[in-house]
Amino acid sequence: MLWLRLLRESFLFAWWAIWANKLRTFLSLLGVMVGIFMISAVFTVVDSLEDNLKDTFNMLDEDVLFVQKWPWASGGEDYPWWKYVQRSEPTEREMKALADRLTSAHAVSYQANDRTSPEAGNSRFEGARVISVTHSYPDVISLNIAFGRFFTEAESNAGRPVALLGAEVALALWGRQEVIGEEFTVKGLKMEVVGVFKKEGTSIISDGMDRVVMMPVAFARRLSDVDRAGGSILVKAANGVSNEALADEVTQHYRAVRRLRPGEADDFAINQVNMLSSMLDRIFAQFEIGGWFIAIFAILVGCFSIANIMFVSVRERTRIIGVQKAIGAKGTFILTQFLFESVALCLFGAAFALLAIELLIAGVNAWDVGLTLAIRPSRIAVAVGVAVLSGLVAGIAPAQSAARMAPVDAMRANG
């Protein structure tokens, strides 16, 4: 009960100090506010960026392997970059040969990427991303189709001029998303819309499927050299098969497809989604360290400011300290009282900093820059913990000076 009364009185003293000396207290709290604001802002941006990037990869299942020319992670210093350049792109023919050999795959598909500008009437959409795929693509990658359907196996094999469009492409060409059966042209060739993807919105690095034109590989060959357009072989593991076991089998059979001799290095990369997650974790860990490094200097300045205002508070209340000691208050009581007050001041600074962070988040989200900000509850706990620690560090010297005062000398002081 005594500690609760002590805590209440300390907060009241802190509030009185803020109210009675608003400008002085605000300037003293400014360092703590800036420090905690810096930490919280860096954590908020880094955490939100990480979440947005990982959300971008949600459509990619963790049990899918991507056989590609380039690795998503570094191949090591013993494998120079120019060897990657010399590699050939995976082709549809190689995909079919690999699919015939695999026994632990649920589905195998091929994908190539390109850019184009579809047109419909007087409307044109610049820089749409072309994804050329085989018919088994939905068995490997989950597609969110709002209207229509995916193209049939007969349409895919025959190279029919059919396509699925992203929501932004459909809106730009016709002003609406329900455009099933409409025709448009790509490089002078007519195509029919059979499906439209659900609008996903943009992220900091990607437009998702909103700016996409998806078509059969067999038709895409009429528009460009698909085999040289950044192809990928996608392999989804069968139930109960681990990624490691599937990767071993893919490596073994794809080496045979490419006729690599024993001892020759692989001229392809097998990528997985968890590689991206691991890489992101390492990158954002460095960002977090950098944020702490920057913020710690601001916190140190804040600690000096709080220590200064606490020394002033000790001087102003010297006689009160003397009276407290004269009626039996122990040094530990005085010490704890001023430490509580110092912590309370830092908590006020943390509250103002977190309020500023919330205003920053609201402003950025309202502006819609492609990055949705949010502060995690754990980061709020970190901010409060930093405030408490700063208060203890900043208040220990003034509190000790108050606790060591002799009662008679304190009561005679002219503070």
d(CA 56, CA 52): 6
What's the confidence (pLDDT) of residue 79?
67
Q: Is 216 helix (H, G, I), strand (E, B) or coil?
A: strand
The most distant pair of C-alpha atoms in the chain lies apart, rounded to whole Å, by 102
- The least confident of 87-101, 235-249, 373-387 is 373-387
Q: What's the pLDDT score for residue 387?
A: 87
Is the CB of residue 241 less than 8 Å from the CB of residue 18? no
Is pLDDT above 60 for 381? yes
* 11 or 209: which leads in pLDDT: 209
> How far apart are alpha carbons 316 and 410 in whole angstroms?
11
Entry field: residues in the chain = 415
Evaluate the CA torsion angle 220, 222, 228, 233 in order and state its sign: positive
**Model confidence at 275: pLDDT above 60:** yes
By the 10 Å C-beta count (0-12 exposed, 13-18 middle, 19+ buried), 267 is classed as middle
**Predicted local confidence at residue 256, as pLDDT:** 95
Three-state helix/strand/coil letters over 109-135 = EEEEEEEECCEECCEECCCEEEEEECC
pLDDT at 289 over 60: yes
pLDDT surpasses 80 at 316: no
Whether 77 has a pLDDT exceeding 60, the answer reads no
pLDDT above 70: residue 60:
no
Residues ≥6 apart with Cβ < 8 Å to 328 = none
Which secondary structure element, helix H or strand E, spans residue 8, and what is its range?
helix 2-20
CA atoms within 13 A on the CB side of 283: 12
Type of residue numbered 183: E
- CA 61-65-67 angle, to 5 degrees, is 145
Q: What is the 3-state secondary structure (H, E, C) of 328-391?
A: CCCHHHHHHHHHHHHHHHHHHHHHHHHHHHHHHHHHHHHHCCCCCCCCCHHHHHHHHHHHHHHH
pLDDT, residue 118, reads 96
- Residue 26 is predicted with a pLDDT of 74
Kindly indicate the confidence band of residue 10, based on its pLDDT and cuts at 50, 70 and 90.
low
pLDDT tens by residue, 333-345: 778 778 887 888 8
Pairing relation of β-strands 105-116 and 269-272? unpaired
- Dump strand ranges (E) for 117-188: 119-120, 123-124, 128-133, 145-148, 162-165, 183-186
Q: What is the pLDDT of residue 2?
A: 60
Average pLDDT on 328-355 reads 82
- Give the DSSP H/E element, type plus range, for residue 194: strand 189-197
For the segment 170-196, what is each residue's pLDDT rounded down to a tens digit?
999 999 999 999 999 999 999 999 999
Q: Are 86 and 119 in contact (CB under 8 A)?
A: no
Q: What's the pLDDT band for 409 if we cut at 50, 70, 90?
A: low
145 forms beta bridges with 197
Q: Lowest mean pLDDT: which of 15-24, 93-102, 222-231, 254-263? A: 15-24
Rounded Cα–Cα distance for residues 8 and 27 (Å): 24
Alpha-carbon distance 248 to 39, whole Å?
44
Q: Please state whether beta strands 145-148 and 128-133 pair in parallel, antiparallel, or not at all (unpaired).
A: unpaired
Cα(339)–Cα(331) distance, rounded to whole angstroms? 12
Tokens in use for 58?
């949600």
pLDDT, one tens digit per residue, over 208-250 is: 789 999 999 999 999 988 877 778 999 999 999 999 999 999 9
